[in-house]
Amino acid sequence: MSDDPVVIVNKAIDLLNLSRYEEAITTLETLKYWFPTAQIYLASAYTGLFQHDKAKGLLAQFTADTEIPLENLVEAAMCSLRLGDFQHAIPILEKTLASVRPEVGAGFALAAYFLADQKPEEALRVIQQIREAFPDSIMAKKYSNELEISAKLMLNEEIQFTKDAMIPKHFLSTVLWRWQQIFDSCNELQETLPIFVIGDSHVQIFSGTLVQLPQLLEPMPRLLPWFAPIHIGPILAWGFGKADRRTRGYERLNWLITEKIIPPGSRIMLSAGEIDIRVHVREQIERQQVSKFQVIDQIVSSLITVGCDLLDKGFKVMFWAPIGAGKPMDFGNSMPDPNGDMILRNEYTRIFVERMRELAEPLGMPVLAIFDEMVDEENKSDLRLLCDGLHLGLWSLPVIQTVFRKRFGVTPE
């Protein structure tokens, strides 16, 4: 291996992206005493292995005044966010966004934090900074608009939702009141609050914000107190119950239980499967030369196994099923999406949700799914419910409430 520290760090970053944390640590150990950038990525590796004290020790020396490249400071801030150390991360992100070479990701993370911390005025200030710093960026415009909607909903402002529709004033207040009514009327749910929503990025809607915070191994700040969402990464339903998969979902879930971040006897709602459907089902059908039903059964069975394991440990288990497919993935060219269009992915999702219900419900594990309310008989999704073409927006909360009412027999107000 080269002696150039930059080359060594870049090699370690590649290993981190593959979740090969032990190898990244070995690669960086020789640099940690004299090369600050190595310390930051070493902290990221320790975070991936749940050695949080070591990670926090390495990050403690990095502040907004540290003289290293801004992109490395952003990594330190993001790692601090993953550790739940928001106060350490915020000054670094503020400095990065205000610099002559601002980082758009830092701006999004900062606005996301302020929204999750119920500080919409601060979020709007950051959103304006993002727009001024990146006036020609399509991505900055798109996500700043979504962040602005979330902030204004928190301020109970009326918002132009589509060309012909408005989100009314006090929308969020009404949503909160309705959630309270649902849980007040359902003893089954009330006895085990909050509901820990564990899994992929689709857990975010249960925090009550539009935004995606970095992967957190503790409940993220939230507006909906009945739920405690924890985003443990881009997990696959197929690999969730297996150790040493790239996304480490199995290890992360067990760490949450071992450390009692999820208390014994809690109600857990697992969210996984959307990535399997969007990225892997079609590929596996072709690779294995089997039917779509066989591939989807493999994935569903793996996820059910995780639920059964949690039941055996004394937890109450639910599932948040994959939502309707969003827009096709944009590969920047005219080639068709290799993962299939919306219609095909919804065909897979429909089979997935039905099989989940058939296998999980008889075992005492409710399956909550917005799919039937979101997708029509032609397998076309109502894209208005999405905030970014993939994840549910805040305006979908009344529909989610309808799903909960139906499943738990709560009479509408």
Tokens of 184: 């007040």
Position 272 scores a pLDDT of: 96
Q: Per residue in 330-378, pLDDT tens? A: 434 444 455 568 899 999 999 999 999 999 999 999 999 999 999 999 9
Beta-sheet strand order (sheet of 195-199): 227-231, 195-199, 267-271, 316-320, 367-368
- C-alpha Rg value of the chain to the nearest Å: 22
CATH match for 1-98 among 1.25.40.10, 1.10.3720.10, 1.10.3730.10, 3.40.630.30 = 1.25.40.10
**Spatial contact of 28 and 51, defined as CB atoms under 8 Å apart:** no
Phi, psi at 375, each rounded to 5°:
-120, 135
How far is the C-alpha of 293 from the C-alpha of 186, rounded, in Å? 35
Position 2 scores a pLDDT of: 64
Q: Per residue in 116-130, pLDDT tens? A: 777 889 999 999 998
Confirm whether 1-98 and 185-408 share one CATH topology.
Answer: no
How far is the C-alpha of 411 from the C-alpha of 413, rounded, in Å? 6
Position 211 scores a pLDDT of: 58
Phi, psi at 2, each rounded to 5°:
-60, 150
| Amino acid code (one letter) for 197 | V
Position 332 scores a pLDDT of: 42
How far is the C-alpha of 390 from the C-alpha of 231, rounded, in Å? 16
Position 337 scores a pLDDT of: 56
Ordered by start, the domain boundaries in the chain are 1-98, 102-169, 185-408
Eight-state DSSP code of residue 381: B
Eight-state DSSP code of residue 276: I
CATH of domain 185-408: 3.40.50.1110
Per-residue pLDDT of the chain (413 residues; tens, 9 = 90+): 567 888 888 888 888 887 788 899 999 888 877 788 888 899 888 888 888 888 888 888 888 778 888 778 888 888 887 787 777 888 888 888 887 777 777 888 888 778 877 788 999 999 999 898 888 888 788 778 878 888 888 888 887 766 666 777 788 888 888 889 899 888 888 888 899 999 998 998 998 766 565 566 666 667 788 999 988 888 899 988 887 667 788 888 998 999 888 999 999 999 999 999 998 999 999 999 999 999 999 999 999 999 999 999 999 999 999 999 987 554 344 444 555 688 999 999 999 999 999 999 999 999 999 999 999 999 999 988 888 788 898 889 999 999 999 998 776 65
Position 334 scores a pLDDT of: 44
Position 150 scores a pLDDT of: 81
Position 73 scores a pLDDT of: 83
How far is the C-alpha of 229 from the C-alpha of 237, rounded, in Å? 17
